[in-house]
Structure 1
């Protein structure tokens, strides 16, 4: 929450490879990967330090998402889905 009581809004950058791979997933796989990304966004305390080389991986029931952080959001570099 911000000092105004409104939730923070974060940005997500997807690499070109991630965008293309998401387009190739079936609907249930795409939905799950996007849900994992949304879960990452609402938990900025679990992000690696912004602007560095450190990354993190978060897992869903049948998927994972690899990302780095920058001031104001995350960059998703890779994901996997076991469908």
Structure 2
């Protein structure tokens, strides 16, 4: 089943400000979160999860069929 990713404006803005290597790592972290639906928070409401990469983090919420990335960060 293909899953969908939506990016909140804040996450889009943060991605746009990262250097290429930071953007790449954050996208890989988003992909890692996307392929693990068992680790998603309960869809709907205000439940949030955070996934960490080597130097990045992604906070997201879930909906039926995908995730919405709320915010991202990179400490590179």
Which structure carries more helix by proportion?
2
Provide runs of 4+ in structure 1 moved above 4 Å: none
Partner of 2:14: 21
Higher RCO (CA 8 Å, separation ≥ 6 residues):
2
The gaps in structure 2 that reach 5 residues or longer are none
| Structure number, greater radius of gyration | 1
CA RMSD across the alignment: 0.7
The gaps in structure 1 that reach 5 residues or longer are 1-7
1:36 alignment partner, SS class? helix
Aligned length: 76
- Could you state the TM-score of these two structures normalised by the residue count of structure 1? 0.88
